[in-house]
Structure 1
């Protein structure tokens, strides 16, 4: 046995104050979007209606693969698979995540109690009929003022009382956060309900990026959530307006938004908190459908390239370009990514020397692709030689077993 000069007890003493690094991934499947619907417009048919309207928009404005390729400037060779994939997704699962909105999209109304109770009954109907999205919840009013705070808490109370048991996949959106105290108090309010309620923080104020003392704010927000925070959602228009940008420059591709997203990204890394990009208000309606689609498609592709795999959709017709962008993103590099993953697993030493972190990212990408319907499990196994359990092992930085 080789000789060593260090006393193990001395090494243990000097390293005792260190702990293992806790690297967590978001729990479960992350939706590719969140659809926002004002509370007074939510009905038992909302999810199906969004799907029908999206399919109608596809049938009217891009009925063939060639039409979709022309509108979105897609390669003709891939347009057929994308068109069929989008249509199938819209028919099977048009909405992956839905938020019943009691904030900006709803406003201040004297009948908010009634809408909160009615919305809860709608959700109970979804659950009973098996048509609820995989994830859903509500957005309450902010804690900016006492009136807004009191109204938001009351709406949450009315809704949860009428809902009864909190179902899996339920999440609350907490908007316009400006201080760690707001996050702490919101968590304390949720404690009063006696349930393991989770919430996502909307990053839509400069103070949610850099606090009043010049410190990065988000890590303290996540810590203040005491394990309840599941996501950070960027708010495009409140944030850019608060930064002093004019209306013409309030869009997701602005550098001010890039800065905020980068801060969100590094702050949430390794915490298990998921990221979501914001929305675009260029809606595909009337004679602006093609313009709205091109704008939305380009912004979704840009978000995906920046590592934001989720975003907001505000109109059913945006579902067409949401899934076109997500499916194209996952399919375009799939064969090359699969080759790298095969080389890594087989230790073949291909043209690119990948590390465990890259193998983790590659496997996570294939898992996302199967989650959203861009690829199916059989396609992924054909390309990579790995089944889904083996990919999940790599996503946890574990090597799959030799017989896996």
Structure 2
């Protein structure tokens, strides 16, 4: 073993203790503000359906319409791959998984819309629609036909529509409680936020509902939609969105980019309003940095080019949507919006191709890291976290199967989760 080294130190133990005591407030602040990713499933998309159009069979209907679009415009793996430019080895796996997904789980996250997609209605009509949404969602969860995540987008907290938005939310949540309680997959979306105070007001509103029904504090969380320039940059030059996360008092779960409202706010002409516009890239980059480490997830927006009409037109819309989705995934925006059943096939095709084409390399790198085996890339704990997170997202959406991941990595799902979501300060320990 060789000569045993003599170890000597110069600092008294009290020095380290004093340093730790001085940093205790910082330690607490880090833990509070940056708890890390929650480790739960993130849906790959959110589908918005106007309140009056939402029915008991909306989820199934979207799947059927998406399958019908495939049957009409790309009936087999080769034709679908040709439209999207998929590699030969991905054509069959992606096509078969897309069809299976559309049959099994066509929508991962559905939002019944009472804002732009619904518009102003007589109060009695919106009251009834909100109550109906609660009943249908409760029934869907009870029957096992719900999407994994479901909820509503109410009107915003601005003065002209504030009372209406609060009432719709109250009716909806009260209806869920009366039907048996809040489902685990419940998601609420607050649109058109411009000031952190609006976020705090909404958080206090949810706290009041929890108190009224004896729910645990913090049971209700919500997404913040970023649709105005003021939500990105405040008048004093600070990043408003970062302040919004803190203003949510621990209830913020997501930041969703609103492509068209935000673009219009900046004066972008309608023909150029898109999720890959430089203005959109800037906004989402600020959102991404503000949310990093907080446990709040970022979602991309949507395209308004619908895959309808003759086959040539549908193919063009599919290629656009597929390309935008792949672009977002490469930029670590793992969720987006879909506005039409025809968007769903290319959403899943893009997601599945993204995870399957990188699967072998990611699995091999993680296996080498876990087994402390040398390879052609020297990975660090943070990279192992990213690799395992990549594989877990692929598993959650159906792009990958647990058996093939376990075979390539030698890890169980629990093992993957251990690398993907270590406690703060444990990244280095995982490398030991």
Q: TM-score normalised by the shorter chain: which range applies?
A: over 0.9
TM superposition shift of 1:220: 1.3
- The residue correspondences of 1:167-182 to structure 2 (distance < 5 A) are 167-182=183-198
Q: Is the 1:26–1:274 Cα contact (8 Å) retained in structure 2?
A: no
Report the 3-state secondary structure (helix = DSSP H, G, I; strand = E; otherwise coil) of the residue aligned with 2:22.
coil
TM superposition shift of 1:184: 0.8
- The residue correspondences of 1:350-389 to structure 2 (distance < 5 A) are 350-389=375-414
Superposed CA offset, 1:14-36 (max 9, x none): 34232434341134111000010
Superposed CA offset, 1:344-384 (max 9, x none): 11212211100001111001111111100101001111222
Q: Aligned equivalents of 2:22 and 2:290: distance in 1? A: 24
Q: Which residue of 1 aligns with 2:203?
A: 187
Q: Aligned equivalents of 1:86 and 1:97: distance in 2? A: 17
Which of 81, 88, 93 is equivalent to 2:105? 93
Root mean square deviation, CA, Å: 1.6
Aligned length: 400
Which of 280, 290, 293 is equivalent to 2:315? 290
Q: Is the 1:141–1:152 Cα contact (8 Å) retained in structure 2?
A: yes
Superposed CA offset, 1:370-399 (max 9, x none): 100101001111222222111111112469
Q: Which residue of 2 aligns with 1:4?
A: 9
Q: Does 1:220 align with 2:243?
A: yes
Q: Which residue of 1 aligns with 2:3?
A: none
Q: Is the 2:49–2:113 Cα contact (8 Å) retained in structure 1?
A: yes
- The residue correspondences of 1:56-71 to structure 2 (distance < 5 A) are 56-71=68-83
Superposed CA offset, 1:104-141 (max 9, x none): 11100111111111111111221221111111110010
Residue ranges of structure 2 left out of the alignment (5+ in a row): 1-5
User: For structure 1, which segment, 82-91 or 375-384, has the greater mean C-alpha deviation from structure 2 after superposition?
Assistant: 375-384
Q: Is the 2:39–2:421 Cα contact (8 Å) retained in structure 1?
A: no
Q: Aligned equivalents of 1:186 and 1:10: distance in 2? A: 45
Q: Aligned equivalents of 1:271 and 1:121: distance in 2? A: 33
Q: Does 1:43 align with 2:55?
A: yes
Residue ranges of structure 1 left out of the alignment (5+ in a row): none
Q: Aligned equivalents of 1:82 and 1:396: distance in 2? A: 28
Q: Aligned equivalents of 2:16 and 2:88: distance in 1? A: 63
- The residue correspondences of 1:52-131 to structure 2 (distance < 5 A) are 52-110=64-122, 111-131=125-145
TM-score when scaled to structure 1? 0.96
Q: Which residue of 1 aligns with 2:282?
A: 259
Q: Is the 2:39–2:417 Cα contact (8 Å) retained in structure 1?
A: no
Q: Is the 2:196–2:243 Cα contact (8 Å) retained in structure 1?
A: yes
TM-score when scaled to structure 2? 0.90
